[in-house]
């Protein structure tokens, strides 16, 4: 990890057996990062030290009151609305492109039919 972990940092485990056994669990660093043969840290509630290369620091908003929680929920709802608008615009653009592609395919089919008819006419005239 680029920045050393410090006591109190929140982390999750990844790409290890312990990560599979503790999927989704957020751990709190009990110590600052220590460098031995590898960088390690002690985690609250975990027996022994843990290699920092298998830890990802996470930012969890601090909720000190119901108002903080309400504000965080509102912020997340706003992000969701914004994301939904972007997805809706993408879907609309996709539908327009699909419609244009279908029209172009129909036009190409019409031109192909005209060419085949023209070819038949030319062959019939050449056969006279």
pLDDT tens sequence across 63-116: 678 888 888 889 889 999 999 999 999 999 999 999 999 999 999 999 999 999
Asked if the model's pLDDT at residue 50 lies above 60, the reply is yes
In a domain, 76, yes or no: yes
Q: Where are the alpha helices (DSSP H) in the chain?
A: 17-21, 66-126
Quote the domain boundaries for residue 34: 10-57
Cβ atoms < 10 Å from Cβ of 115: 10
pLDDT for 2 equals: 55
pLDDT for 56 equals: 94
Examine the domain organization and report whether 74 and 31 are in the same domain. no
| Long-range contacts of the stretch 78-84 (C-beta < 8 A, 24+) | none
Examine the domain organization and report whether 82 and 36 are in the same domain. no
Average pLDDT over residues 26-42: 93
Asked if the model's pLDDT at residue 1 lies above 60, the reply is no
Its pTM stands at 0.48
Examine the domain organization and report whether 52 and 71 are in the same domain. no
DSSP summary character for residue 118 = H
Judge whether 51 and 44 are in contact, CB under 8 Å: no
Judge whether 40 and 51 are in contact, CB under 8 Å: yes
Judge whether 13 and 54 are in contact, CB under 8 Å: yes
In a domain, 118, yes or no: yes
Q: Which residues pair with 29 in a beta bridge?
A: 43
In a domain, 5, yes or no: no
pLDDT for 124 equals: 87
């Amino acid at each position: 990890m680029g920045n050393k972990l410090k006591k109190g940092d929140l982390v999750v485990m990844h790409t290890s057996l312990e990560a599979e056994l503790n999927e989704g669990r957020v751990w709190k660093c009990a110590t600052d990062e220590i460098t031995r043969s590898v960088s390690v840290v002690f985690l609250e509630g975990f027996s022994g030290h843990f290699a920092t290369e298998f830890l990802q620091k996470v930012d969890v908003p601090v909720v000190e009151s119901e108002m903080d929680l309400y504000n965080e929920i509102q912020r997340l709802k706003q992000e969701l609305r914004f994301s939904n608008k972007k997805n809706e615009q993408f879907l609309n653009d996709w539908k327009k492109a699909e419609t244009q592609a279908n029209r172009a395919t129909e036009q190409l089919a019409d031109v192909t039919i005209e060419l085949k008819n023209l070819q038949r006419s030319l062959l019939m005239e050449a056969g006279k």
